A and B are shown apart, each in its own frame.
Chain A
Amino acid sequence: MSEIDIQNAKQIRDPMLVRGQLKGIISGLEYHYFAGSYVTFGDITYPTASWAMRKLTDLKGSGYSLDGSCSLHDPNLTESKDNGKLGFRSYTGIGQSFTIGMQSQSQVSAVTINVTNGAGTVTYNGNTYELETYTVVPIDNETMFSLDFVSTANTRIEIRYICAGVYIEMNNANTIRCNPVLRSFTNPDNPSWAVSEIEFQVYYKDNIESAVASVSENTILYYRAGYSGDMSEWRRFYLTGQITQDEKGVLTLRGVDASARLSKEAPAELFSYHSRERVKALYNAFVRRIRNAGITLLTTEAAPVTAETGGEVVYCYLPEEARSDFIAFFMNTWHDRLTSSVTYGQIGARFWPVFVDAGLPRITWSYPTRKWIINESDCGDIKDQYTRNINKISTYQRNTTVENYIDPAGKSWYREDIETVDAKANMTYTVEFSEPYTETIVNDATIVASGYKFIRFKAKKTTKCKVQGRRIKLTEDALFRTYNRDRPGSETELSYIFNSATSCDRSLWGYGLIMRSNHTVTFKWKGDPRMQPRDVFRFDRLDGTQKNYTIESIDLLHEGGGTTCTIVAREGVV
């Protein structure tokens, strides 16, 4: 049984381990010179903690294991990280001093020194810092500088690496507060995408404000929690805003998950598919839009396999817009029950596309199953809330067509004339369109670049260059569609942002949206760092009822050594 589950079953549990990393290491720092004496000196600019320094087999500096398990440093072994022969080792003795000079092509505003053994200080420009496992030293934007080390104990100073940038490790000893807020959305009416975020407050005894001020946006911020041998997965956030340090030495670091990139506009996209393969095609478009935002997915459930192919050709045009609108709309409305005529591995299975990030970005389409059980008797500050029931959804459905052009005489042409340019040889021209076109061509010209709203071409000779293309028609039906359910409630108007009429009836009418519960519950609980937004749990209420709920948000708080969370969840599977 998992240690987190064992601890969560207790009324008084042990404190969780909280771990974080700010990985702001920058490449390009090189060793320049050395002054002083040393025992071994290998490459000290290999910035990784994934290798162990080979111990020296002498009686000084904690190198010798009396159980006989020591191994020779061996001068005949190749200097490499696999052999543990990179890095630097000093002589032992209080007062042992040495200087390492570093250089870089670009200005350096901070270095991080990884010390694996020994005690001492490092001085730069008159400022002295005590050596820790990861010591951050602010540098005055120099390309060449030196670091003076002094040993303050009889143990050997071992330096695994020195690199440019800031690397900070967060743990229970230095973390004052860690507050990941993991979010999704569950409301049925025109939801907007919810970004997850995290805030660390970390005590750092030296003033490194100038160093952390240089850490760039989007530097990776890792987080996980749990118990020894049973930690949650590393969640990946990206630094947002400046890292600050207050007068008490407390650093504040904030990050957001990768889904924040969905807010950027995606280029316009036109794709087509056969109607019987709609689910697979639309799911692939969903995955594509997320990936093209620059989000690296941990796992993506493979697209559903269609037993039937063919059907009429259907177009979908997604204009230039924020991806988050499309992703939220698709997840909210595009639920489909798979019929016997189209097999997706299991007849009757449900297509239920979900993208969840919160530091662990994954896409699935299989119907969610219950993962957790929470007892109301373990929860505090419980609030049940009810929004107005929706019994009617109304929308103007939009559709995309790409058709032949019918001229005023009634003749059908594959393409229509868009614009004619009196072009001179070897000159470049740009024509912009007020409406989107596809399959654009230009006679006697080389196309330099093209999109749905423009074309740029270079004329091969002096002539009239005619730009032609197939118009992408975006239509909105005159019929205001409504979908009713037999229950009391109110009407909501949905903004149908998906330009394809395929399965509109099925998706809106179906299997999620109109039947979604209007009941949400908010409660305080002990917290489980493995939980994700959109996870389904069974809530065992005090009145004996047991119902499934879908997590909308988890506000997890590690503070003062303890862990609590506030969960907002909607009844049912969303």
Chain B
Amino acid sequence: MANPTIKQIMIDDQALPKPPEFRPQRQDLYAGEITTCTGKIIADRIGWKYADMTLSWPALTQAEVDILVGMSGPCTLKFHGLDGNLHVQTVVRTSVVGLRNRNTIGGTVYWRDVTASIRFLNPLT
């Protein structure tokens, strides 16, 4: 199974260019939260996951937009993190694929300002 290069991400093993502002943020997950009478917060930290994020590209080809449009249900997202390691996460698309303009340059169709929001599904401990 192929892995993305450092400048790519892969959705269900299909490569896309890495969005320019691609920085997944970690988010701690808490449950059983109590606020005490002194205002202190007590909780159980049950793990962490990547926060919801919006992927955006200045331009994508039609074939690359089709990859985003074809996301249905849980999908595998592979990317290289800031630590240089390959990360594999399960995500769902949580918005429509936003498109702005369509241009044809040298016979290739490009869509401008493409966006798609995703949610990471599974927490890690």
Residue numbers of A with Cβ under 8 A of B are 11-16, 376-382, 524-527, 542, 557, 559-564
Contacts and interface: CB of A to CB of B under 8 A. Distances in A.
B44 A561 contact: yes
B20 interface: no
B42 A15 contact: no
B37 A526 contact: no
Interface string B14-34: 000000000000000111111
A236 to B, nearest CB: 25
B33 to A, nearest CB: 7
A15 B46 CA distance: 5
Contacts of B47: 15, 561
B37 A15 contact: no
A382 B36 CA distance: 9
A482 B29 CA distance: 59
Contacts of A377: 36-38, 40
A117 B34 CA distance: 41
Contacts of A561: 29, 31-32, 44, 46-47
B45 interface: yes
A505 B32 CA distance: 48
Given A12-B30, A561-B29, A561-B31, A380 B44 contact: no
Interface of B: 29-38, 40-47
Nearest to B32: A562
B46 A380 contact: no
Contacts of B38: 377, 542
7 contacts: A11-B40, A13-B44, A525-B34, A527-B32, A542-B37, A559-B31, A560-B31
Given A560-B31, A561-B31, A379 B44 contact: no
A563 B32 contact: yes
Given A15-B47, A564-B33, 19 more contacts: A11-B40, A12-B43, A12-B45, A13-B44, A16-B44, A377-B37, A377-B38, A378-B40, A380-B34, A380-B35, A380-B37, A525-B34, A526-B32, A527-B32, A559-B31, A560-B31, A562-B30, A562-B43, A563-B32
Most chain B beta carbons < 10 A, residue from A381, A524, A562: A562
Contacts of A542: 37-38
Nearest to A527: B32
B37 A379 contact: yes
Contacts of B31: 15, 559-562
Contacts of A524: 34
B45 A560 contact: no
B59 to A, nearest CB: 41
A12 B31 CA distance: 10
A379 B36 contact: yes
Q: Which of B37, B38, B40 has the most CB of A within 10 A?
A: B37
Chain A CB within 10 A, most for which of B35, B37, B44, B46: B44
Contacts of B37: 376-377, 379-380, 382, 542
Contacts of B30: 12, 562
Nearest to B29: A561
A563 B29 CA distance: 14
B13 to A, nearest CB: 21
A378 B38 CA distance: 8
Question: Which of B30, B31, B37, B42 has most chain A Cβ within 10 Å?
Answer: B42
Nearest to A557: B32
B42 A526 contact: yes
A11 B36 CA distance: 11
Contacts of A559: 31-32
A524 B37 CA distance: 10
A527 B37 CA distance: 16
Contacts of B29: 561
Contacts of A376: 37
A564 B35 CA distance: 11
A380 B32 contact: no
A379 to B, nearest CB: 6
Contacts of A382: 37
A542 B36 CA distance: 12
A379 B46 CA distance: 20
B32 A560 contact: yes
A382 to B, nearest CB: 6
A564 B45 contact: no
A480 B34 CA distance: 50
A534 to B, nearest CB: 24
A129 B36 CA distance: 47
A564 B32 CA distance: 5
A87 to B, nearest CB: 33
Contacts of B46: 15, 560-562
A380 B40 CA distance: 9
CB-CB nearest 3 A-B residue pairs: A562-B32, A562-B31, A561-B46
A527 B30 CA distance: 16
A564 B33 CA distance: 8
A15 to B, nearest CB: 4
B44 A562 contact: yes
B8 to A, nearest CB: 31
A7 to B, nearest CB: 9
Contacts of A13: 44-45
